[in-house]
Structure 1
Amino acid sequence: MSKSTIILSTLLLSNTIGVMAQEKNEKPNIVFVLADDMGIGDVGCYGQKKIKTPNIDKLAEQGLLFTNHYCGSTVSAPSRCSLLTGKHTGHAYIRGNKGADSAEGHFDLHLPANETTVAEILKEKGYATMCVGKWGLGGPKTTGSPINKGFDYFFGYLNQGAAHRYYPEYLYENEKKVMLNKKVYSHFLIMEKGLNFIREHSEQPFFAYFAITPPHADLDYPNLSEYENEFPETPFINKNPNGGFKTQMKPKAAYASMVSEIDKNVGQIIELLKEKGIWENTIFIFSSDNGVHRVGGHDPDFFNSNGPFRGYKRDLYEGGVRAPFIINWPDVIKTKRTTDHITTFWDFLPTVAEIVGAAPIKDTDGISYLSLLTEKGPKPQNHEYIYYEFYEQGGKQSILKDGWKLIRLNMSKPEKLKEELYYLPNDIGEENNLIRQKPQKAAELRKLAMSAHTHSKHFNWKIRK
């Protein structure tokens, strides 16, 4: 199919969606539920056997389940940056968890004014916009504050480091502190604020971004009764008097309870949307920001949290960057479907832009997957490659192209540089390193990886090639 034909078909598809919206005199609401550090294997529809997730599973039963979806990064802040700005970590402004000082204190590195977010696009199209939960892209009175990045309302943790505690001293409502004095389980209040936003804006199109904090450690949940005696437990004891994750005597029960709480939240949102008569015209997305963690007592192998994939959070193996991804849109997706088309967090922005008829975004690495949802027009173009860079644990880089994946470790320690090469169609668990057998393929991918990396004043390696 020629490029001109693809462009024409895309325009026709966009026009069709616009006509559908005009006929109904309404634009689709968008709800995005983003779990924090939850593995792809923690959900029943992706194979989980020990933790109950009936509401999320029902989403998949009545919607579109993605089996090859990649998150924005292997840790929180850059993954969220990728989701909201449509860029992979070779081009994104925020490429790692990095602190920055401001007039209000020490927060996360903040997005600059010239970075456009999904919320800004939607706000220009008349959407009410909300983020509740964890932000991590800039503190109050900076260009990266959520209310300066297109969100009408924010409630939760501006600083992601504070989000390790579920009984915090305070949370932020927009840019003002709400004192909780360590007496309120934050997640319950965050969900209440998000649901209230939907109630208050159900008469207009809205974008409700639930960037919730479970099941990120601390492993902390007020009621473990559902799983309290279900699993053999190894208590996690915090021996660090100056910090660290809290002591949890039943970490498996706590983790399972937190995942099931997320599932209950999905049910709460859906019930409210149906009560308001807007469920049919709502695009509901469920995902997680990166691979599963293994801190604070969590045993991801016990739950098979990363499914068939190798690696965890902070790895660039598939287990660190694969994400559950489910979309339900009753007006458009009429029957259960599954797609193995490779999609990413940085595809979300161009997809949203096409749905609402915004001008095409030029400065993006993403490709709209709208036609996967509608089954109208050509399938989305394939990504030339899937690229990651990471700046912890010695520095890492990976690139995936045509099934071949190169991983480079110790990018900040040239004398210890290590490279691994895998062919995923035959080795999804990344067990057979082919770097010695395929030096030409490794060289090809190495060159491509470095071309995908642009200079950043905040994130740098010693290795330049």
Structure 2
Amino acid sequence: MENLNRRQFLNLAAGGTAAALIPSTGCQSEFVERKNSSAGPPNIVFLMADDHRAFAMGCAGDKNIKTPNMDKLAARGIRFQNCYATSPICMASRATVMTGMYEYKTGCNFATGRLSADDWNNLAYPVLLKKAGYRTAFAGKWGFPLEVSDYAGQFDKWGGFRGAGQGSYDTAANRSLKPYARKYPHVTRALGAFGRDFIRESVQRQKPFCLSLSFKAPHKPHNKIDLEDQKLYRDTNLPKPQNWGPEYSKKLPIQARLSRQYIQRSEWDADHYDDHIKCYYQLISGVDSAVGMVLEELERRGVADNTVIIYTSDNGYFCGAHGLQGKVMPYDDSSLVPLIIYDPRLHKGRKHLTCNAVAGNIDFAPTILDLARVPVPKKMDGLSLIPLIKRSSEKIHESILLVQNWGWVNDDHSRGLAVVTERWKYIVWCYADENVPPAEELFDLKNDPLETGNLVAESEMRPVLEKMRKLYDLHHEHFSKHCVNDEDYTRHRQIFDRRIAWQKKQYRTYGPRPYKRNSKALNAAYKELTGKEPPKKK
């Protein structure tokens, strides 16, 4: 396939090679713009949780969790049911959210590099909004490194945890939020208070504003609960995911089970599940309370009618689904994220709107810029979601790429790429050796949303499989052409090429070679799954 520029790539991904694959159902209802909507650019509030799985909201069908403010947003706005974190791991996802680019173009992951100064200054939505006259603020988990040292100073108000660290649930331990520690000792509500202050200050200055709050919750440790939430779910029996437990992990390819998510699965086994899930839900309900603090302040200051609110997460979380813990992997429990957009300037035909069109976190920055009427840089991979909000006939994506390029250093066995459309997901596990065969997975997300039945070997699925392979090759070509000049990405141009046999790949590894502290567990897992010792490097 000849090389493609960005626009050709996006056009093909939106409807070219895959146009015959899946017809888009689009959004279930339509927005009509209000005639009396407020003039001038809207205020924008971007709220992002950490590890909030898409299914853990009342509006998403969970009858046990208490998320009244998220549910209110979903009732008034639109909830996207097929929105993906294109790299479901904190650092990579957060750089993508800021820049609208896939991970392989930002170069940000735990084992790789920093976001370049050029990309920060020319692509990051807060920088571009500030240039356009917005007041900007950021508070909470930042989560990725930059070549720029003074990025915090580029915001009008800063309350972030600098660098790639996790920050603390103890407000007093986060230097930029210490003023809130006495009244709000738990950082989740401290972030809500920070947001209230910024809204008040911005209204007083009569300037449009963009508030970005990045919650640490519900990221582990799951036992750091706000006192106000500790009584929640205490007497509630919270059910397990339908695809929870070891019987489902047996269905996974060996590559997926040679991962930290499988090896450390005991965190969510039967002995620990009840305690973990209650804490996880308590943390999410704490985030919901902070969301409520922001909503109340918008109403109090009289700017709610001209403020667009976006709620999402950096990635999902397994909670024991597929017998796994954590995130990272391309299965929906890990990669699907909540996305609610409420634009009060648009009038909805009915409440509780949902959209089934496939979208991704590459689309967040373009959407925010489009809302502010700021030109979207051509280098961004994402596209504005506004056409979907308005139910335009345009289809913005036929497919989204999911990148699994994170793992223990120098260890490729659980890395791979996946392509997802509105109905189908195709995963390529690229590692292979004399004991581990290469693996592909194909899931019908409409009829098998739990992803328990791999259809690759089904003869009647051959036409779908071939079309998904073509989409994969299209995305792989874009990866190969545009990835950053970093050894971990450039070598994966070949590793991720499904058409090259593993034995012929120059940049291959021979058996697991992780950090020393994890070698014993990983080598034991390899032997358990294959019955053989890991092959030695030749």
8 Å Cα contact 1:64/1:326 also seen in 2: yes
8 Å Cα contact 2:313/2:337 also seen in 1: yes
Task: Please state how far the C-alpha of 1:257 moved relative to its aligned partner.
Answer: 1.6
1:46-95 Cα shifts (integer Å, max 9, x gaps) = 0112111111111111111111212242111111111111112343332x
Task: Please state how far the C-alpha of 1:118 moved relative to its aligned partner.
Answer: 0.8
Check 1:287–1:138 CA distance in 2 against 1; reply closer, same or farther (3 A cut).
same
Task: Please state how far the C-alpha of 1:250 moved relative to its aligned partner.
Answer: 4.2
8 Å Cα contact 1:171/1:178 also seen in 2: no
The unaligned stretches of length 5 or more in structure 2 are 1-10, 12-31, 240-266, 408-413, 498-538
Farther-moved stretch of structure 1 (280-289 vs 389-398)? 389-398
Task: Please state how far the C-alpha of 1:412 moved relative to its aligned partner.
Answer: 8.5
Aligned to 2:327: 313
Aligned to 2:158: 154
1:369-407 Cα shifts (integer Å, max 9, x gaps) = 2133345xx334331421022223431211124744221
1:351 aligns with 2:372: no
Q: Distance in 1 between matches of 2:180 and 2:273?
A: 25
Amino acid at match of 2:218: P
Task: Please state how far the C-alpha of 1:138 moved relative to its aligned partner.
Answer: 2.2
Aligned to 1:221: 225
How many aligned residue pairs are there?
A: 409
Aligned to 1:208: 211
Farther-moved stretch of structure 1 (343-352 vs 423-432)? 423-432
Aligned to 1:241: none
Check 1:178–1:396 CA distance in 2 against 1; reply closer, same or farther (3 A cut).
farther
The secondary structure found in structure 2 opposite 1:196 is helix
After superposition, the CA RMSD in angstroms is 3.6
Q: Distance in 1 between matches of 2:288 and 2:387?
A: 28
Check 1:407–1:249 CA distance in 2 against 1; reply closer, same or farther (3 A cut).
closer
Check 1:222–1:179 CA distance in 2 against 1; reply closer, same or farther (3 A cut).
closer
8 Å Cα contact 1:30/1:282 also seen in 2: yes
Amino acid at match of 2:192: M
Task: Please state how far the C-alpha of 1:266 moved relative to its aligned partner.
Answer: 1.3
The secondary structure found in structure 2 opposite 1:40 is coil
8 Å Cα contact 1:72/1:344 also seen in 2: yes
Check 1:390–1:274 CA distance in 2 against 1; reply closer, same or farther (3 A cut).
same
Q: Distance in 2 between matches of 1:289 and 1:433?
A: 27
Q: Greater share of strand residues, 1 or 2?
A: 1
Check 1:442–1:147 CA distance in 2 against 1; reply closer, same or farther (3 A cut).
same
1:274 aligns with 2:290: no
Task: Please state how far the C-alpha of 1:443 moved relative to its aligned partner.
Answer: 4.3
1:237-256 superposed matches below 5 A: 250-256=275-281
Q: Distance in 1 between matches of 2:433 and 2:95?
A: 26
Farther-moved stretch of structure 1 (439-448 vs 200-209)? 439-448
Aligned to 1:366: 382
The secondary structure found in structure 2 opposite 1:129 is strand
Check 1:34–1:442 CA distance in 2 against 1; reply closer, same or farther (3 A cut).
closer
Q: Distance in 1 between matches of 2:371 and 2:163?
A: 31
Q: Distance in 2 between matches of 1:414 and 1:158?
A: 44
Q: Distance in 2 between matches of 1:179 and 1:170?
A: 11
Aligned to 2:77: 63
1:261 aligns with 2:286: yes
1:217-245 Cα shifts (integer Å, max 9, x gaps) = 01111321233333489xxxxxxxxxx99
1:189 aligns with 2:169: no
Amino acid at match of 1:212: F
The secondary structure found in structure 2 opposite 1:162 is coil
Q: Greater share of helix residues, 1 or 2?
A: 2
Task: Please state how far the C-alpha of 1:201 moved relative to its aligned partner.
Answer: 0.9
8 Å Cα contact 2:417/2:496 also seen in 1: no
Check 1:276–1:391 CA distance in 2 against 1; reply closer, same or farther (3 A cut).
same
Q: Structure 1 residue aligned with 2:110, among 97, 101, 110?
A: 97
Task: Please state how far the C-alpha of 1:318 moved relative to its aligned partner.
Answer: 1.8
Check 1:40–1:379 CA distance in 2 against 1; reply closer, same or farther (3 A cut).
same
Structure 2 length normalisation: TM-score? Answer: 0.68
The secondary structure found in structure 1 opposite 2:477 is helix
Q: Distance in 1 between matches of 2:215 and 2:334?
A: 19
Check 1:144–1:72 CA distance in 2 against 1; reply closer, same or farther (3 A cut).
farther
Check 1:162–1:427 CA distance in 2 against 1; reply closer, same or farther (3 A cut).
closer
Amino acid at match of 2:478: A
Larger radius of gyration: 2
1:38 aligns with 2:63: no
Check 1:389–1:413 CA distance in 2 against 1; reply closer, same or farther (3 A cut).
farther
Structure 1 length normalisation: TM-score? Answer: 0.77
Check 1:281–1:60 CA distance in 2 against 1; reply closer, same or farther (3 A cut).
same
Q: Structure 2 residue aligned with 1:47, among 48, 61, 86?
A: 61
Task: Please state how far the C-alpha of 1:251 moved relative to its aligned partner.
Answer: 3.3
Amino acid at match of 1:348: F
Task: Please state how far the C-alpha of 1:317 moved relative to its aligned partner.
Answer: 1.2
Q: Structure 2 residue aligned with 1:143, among 139, 148, 156?
A: 148
1:326 aligns with 2:335: no
Check 1:333–1:118 CA distance in 2 against 1; reply closer, same or farther (3 A cut).
farther
1:385-424 superposed matches below 5 A: 385-393=399-407, 394-401=414-421, 403-411=423-431, 416=436, 417-424=438-445
Aligned to 2:141: 134
8 Å Cα contact 2:86/2:335 also seen in 1: yes
Aligned to 2:255: none
8 Å Cα contact 2:189/2:290 also seen in 1: no
The secondary structure found in structure 2 opposite 1:80 is helix
Sequence identity, in percent? 27
Q: Distance in 2 between matches of 1:30 and 1:287?
A: 14
8 Å Cα contact 2:193/2:293 also seen in 1: no
1:74 aligns with 2:88: yes
8 Å Cα contact 2:106/2:116 also seen in 1: no
Q: Distance in 1 between matches of 2:496 and 2:220?
A: 35
8 Å Cα contact 1:310/1:319 also seen in 2: no
